[in-house]
Amino acid sequence: MVGKVYLVGAGPGDPDLITVKGMRCLQQADVILYDRLVNPELLQHAKEGAQLVYCGKLPHYHTMKQETINHFLVKYAKKGYTVVRLKGGDPFVFGRGGEEAEECAKNHVPFEIVPGITAGIAASAYAGIPVTHRNISKSFALITGHQAGDVEAEHQWSHLAKAVDTICVYMGVSHLPSIIKHLIQHGKSPKTPIALVHWGTLSEQRTVVGTLETIEEIVEKAKIANPSMIVIGEVVNLHHRLNWFEKEIIPQLPVVQG
C-alpha cells in the first residue's frame, strides 16, 4: 500500500509560525526530510520512532542533491510511510516544492501541499515593513537573488525597477552590488530605501536600513550575511515607526573627510 507525501512549509524561522495543519502533519509523519533553515525545535514534535533525514543545503555545498531528495520521497512513500518534506518558508516559494510534487506525480505517489508563511512577507513584517500599504505600495514582487548574475534574467530588472512598488529578494546578500547596479541602471533612484533583515522572526533578528547608494557600506559595517531578506521600496521608511520586534541597528559609519 502506497503512503503519502506532504510538502509542508515550516514558516520563516519562529516555530510558532508553522500552520496548525503543518504541525498536525509533522506529528503524524513516519519519515521527515527537513531542510537547513527549519527550526530544530519543530522536530521535537515528531512522534516517537519517526525517521529524521537531514537534507540541508548551504551556498555552493549541497548535503543532499535534489535528485536524491526526490528519490527518497518516492522510496519511503512506496513503502507505505507517511512522509513529510519539511521546508523553510513555503514549499512553492523558492523551495523546489514544485519539482518534488512533479516527481511524486510522475511516480503515482499521492501528495499534498501544506503552505507556509514565506520569509519575504514574515521577515518584513517582523521588521515593521509592510510589503503593501494603501498609500505607498500597491504591488510587490518576490524574487531570488541568485538571478542577479543570470544573463537570461537581465531583461527582468527593467520590469522590476519600473512596475513594482516593493521588491523582496531572497538570499541576495552575496549579489547585493549587482542587484543595486541593475535597479539603478533600469531607473530606480539611488535614494530608494532598502532594508536587510537577517534571521527574520528569530531572536537573533537584525535589520539595517539605508538607500541603494548607501546600503553596501552599511551592510559591510554591520556584517550582515545570509540568511537575510532584502526589501526595496518606499515602505522601508515605515521601519522606524513600526519596528515592534527588535532594537534598531544604526551602525556607525566612518566619517568622510571633506
Catalytic residue among 21, 23, 78, 171: 171
Please, are residues 156 and 132 in contact by the beta-carbon 8 Å criterion?
Answer: no
Please, are residues 198 and 234 in contact by the beta-carbon 8 Å criterion?
Answer: no
Catalytic residue among 14, 30, 35, 90: 35
Measured in Å, how far apart are the chain's first and last C-alpha atoms? Answer: 76
Whether 79 is a known active-site residue: answer: no
Whether 57 is a known active-site residue: answer: yes
Catalytic residue among 57, 78, 181, 221: 57
Whether 229 is a known active-site residue: answer: no
What residues act catalytically? 35, 57, 171
